[in-house]
Structure 1
Amino acid sequence: MKNSTLFFCMFMVIALVKAQEDIFDLSRKGNVKEIEIVLKSKKVKVDTLDYKGFSPLILAVYNGQLDTVDFLLKHKANPDIQDKSGNTALMGACFKGYLQAICLLIAQGADINIKNYGGATALIYAATFGHKDIVVELLKYEADPTIQDDRGNTAEDHARMQGNQEILEVLSTITEKAEN
């Protein structure tokens, strides 16, 4: 009896680990139908984290899988889960330049001003990587351009350091309005 109980427990642990591996791979690849099966099995929660602290949502965003992002958000994935560096799905979308993913995340309540463990925000990422359309979108939703990272730099400072003149002009205009 003890052997069969031990075997059953080992089987369940292996099945759980396999299901967790699957949801991460499936999220990267954008296989919504398979993700739905894994979630319905209740072996894995939608906000399960991998060994790097990535959630299925973060992986789907980073890999540009919009249908998967939408599906996971509709299944109550937390858009503000932070990985081991403190980055969120929104920050990943800003880094990669995925405007549609950003819109989905904001519509589902992503914290637009959350900081990673270096103090960077989604707006800082968008400014740093030259995504003017995303900077404009984030500002529409009240991203705070005055937030400083751990080195004391704002999104405007990052745009200046990167030579992103168009973004610098957008952020300068906002900052000037805030000062007046």
Structure 2
Amino acid sequence: MKEETFLSAAETGDINTVKALIEDGIAVDTHDEHERTALMKAAKYNQADIVLFLLENGADINARDNRGTNAVYWAASRGNLEITKLLLEKGADITVHDDRGWTAIDHAKSNHHLDVARFLEEQAAAV
């Protein structure tokens, strides 16, 4: 029950609930049945404050779900440049391939988020 509340709070941007549950001892990398963590859900639903808070509290930035995707994939596929930049600044791996062989760049392009795709390509070239 706490796990569902925690993951839902990350999705909806309920920072107070996220903080309270972490203070209460919930694992920051708690995940759902698809192995999607609170960080992935916050990135997917454009919750920048939650993303930053979870990272500051030890969330695994490169955790992968059962399809092989990570938090930067979710931010990029949803076109959130702010969260994509934040995740890369904190060390997210943009070379990860999902179960179809796609990267975050591929997903950003396929969803017509060309600003995010360009940013990721620039970052990949700089490595």
How high is the TM-score relative to the length of structure 2?
0.95
Indicate which of 50, 63, 68 corresponds to 2:17: 68
Could you tell me whether the CA contact under 8 Å between 2:12 and 2:47 is conserved in 1?
no
Q: Where do residues 22-171 of structure 1 align in structure 2 (5 Å cutoff)?
A: 24=1, 48-49=2-3, 54=4, 56-171=5-120
Greater Rg over alpha carbons, structure: 1
Tell me, what secondary structure is at the counterpart of 2:39?
A: helix
Q: What is the number of residues matched between the two proteins?
A: 127
Tell me, what secondary structure is at the counterpart of 1:166?
A: helix
Structure 1, unaligned runs of 5 or more: 1-23, 25-47
Q: Distance in 2 between matches of 1:88 and 1:137?
A: 17
Structure 1 range deviating more: 115-124 or 58-67: 58-67
Could you tell me whether the CA contact under 8 Å between 1:97 and 1:134 is conserved in 2?
yes
Residue identity in the other structure for 1:167: V
Residue identity in the other structure for 2:20: F
Partner of 1:177: 126
Could you tell me whether the CA contact under 8 Å between 1:57 and 1:79 is conserved in 2?
no
Q: Distance in 2 between matches of 1:60 and 1:126?
A: 17
Aligned identity (percent) is 31
RMSD: 1.2
Q: Distance in 1 between matches of 2:25 and 2:123?
A: 34
Residue identity in the other structure for 1:99: A
**Offset, 1:76:** 2.2
Q: Distance in 2 between matches of 1:79 and 1:117?
A: 18
Q: Distance in 2 between matches of 1:137 and 1:149?
A: 21
Tell me, what secondary structure is at the counterpart of 2:85?
A: helix
Residue identity in the other structure for 1:81: T
Runs of 4+ in structure 1 over 3 Å off: none
Tell me, what secondary structure is at the counterpart of 1:84?
A: coil
Residue identity in the other structure for 1:165: L
How high is the TM-score relative to the length of structure 1?
0.68
Structure 2, unaligned runs of 5 or more: none
User: Which of 1 and 2 has higher RCO (CA within 8 Å, sep 6+)?
Assistant: 2
Could you tell me whether the CA contact under 8 Å between 2:28 and 2:54 is conserved in 1?
yes
